Amino acid sequence: MSNQNSPAGLLPLRHANGGTVRLNRYYIAGGLAANIYRGSAVVATGTSKQITAASAASTTLLIGVFKGCFYVDATANTQFRPLWTSGQTIFPNSIVESEVFDDPNMLYAIQVSGSGLLASNVGALANLVIGTGNSTTGNSGDQLDQTTIGTGAQLRIEELLQQSSPQQTGSLNTYGQYAKAVVRFAIGQFIPISLVAA
């Protein structure tokens, strides 16, 4: 059975050094005019610890991957959502807290766009391609942009995602179209300059 077309952004897998997977709290400006989905890479807005979604081919340092957010809506109801909806209004004088995987040693799974992944692509850099997220599930539609493999800067391809059992996803993951790759950030807010330049 061939790979399935099911982009969901960057899915946290594990810590590269065997450490604990951790989240940190960041903030979203109330009324921010941008969608941020679970699995979307995020960047700083330049205001304290506020974030917004990263753009394709962005040279801005990536902070991490968005998990969800807490806020009090305009009717004073507390919400937890796997996505931030563009222009969401919040209760006056309240804040929007977001959870972000921001450890620079995190590894993520992500679908590769276009014709997919080749074994020779392992170790190469690539960029994100921003897809349409799912407002029902909250999942990102972002993928690794196959056309930027070898010329991109945002993500480093570590390996093909190993799936040992067809029962896990309905099919084994193989090289080619719709392949799922294991990646880490190549440019990141918390990656030492010596590693960025390597």
Q: Which residues contact 65 (CB under 8 A, 6 or more apart)?
A: 9, 10, 12, 39, 40, 41, 42, 100, 101, 106, 108
Average pLDDT, the chain: 88
pLDDT on residue 68: 96
pLDDT tens digits along 108-163 = 999 999 999 999 999 999 999 999 999 999 999 999 999 999 999 899 999 999 87
DSSP one-letter string for the chain:
-PPP----S-EEEEETTS-----EEEEE-TT-SS-EEBT-EEEE-SSTTBEEE--TT--SPEEEEEEEEEEEBTTS-EEEESEE-TT--B-TT--EEEEEE--TTEEEEEEB-TT-B-GGGTT-EE-EE-----TTT-B---EE-GGGTTT--SEEEEEEPP---HHHHSS---SBTT-EEEEEESSBTTS-HHHHH-
pTM of the model: 0.88
Q: Domain extents for the chain? A: 11-16+104-197, 24-101
Q: Are 7 and 143 in contact (CB under 8 A)?
A: yes
91 residue type, one letter = F
Please give the single-letter amino acid code of residue 4.
Answer: Q
Q: How far apart are CA 44 and CA 55, in angstroms?
A: 12
- For residue 19, the model assigns a pLDDT of 82
pLDDT at position 196, please?
A: 44
Q: What's the pLDDT score for residue 190?
A: 65
Percentage of the chain exceeding pLDDT 70? 88
Question: What's the confidence (pLDDT) of residue 181?
Answer: 96
CA distance 29 to 70: 12
Report, as ranges of residue numbers, the positions in the chain whose pLDDT lies below 70: 1, 57-59, 164-171, 190-198
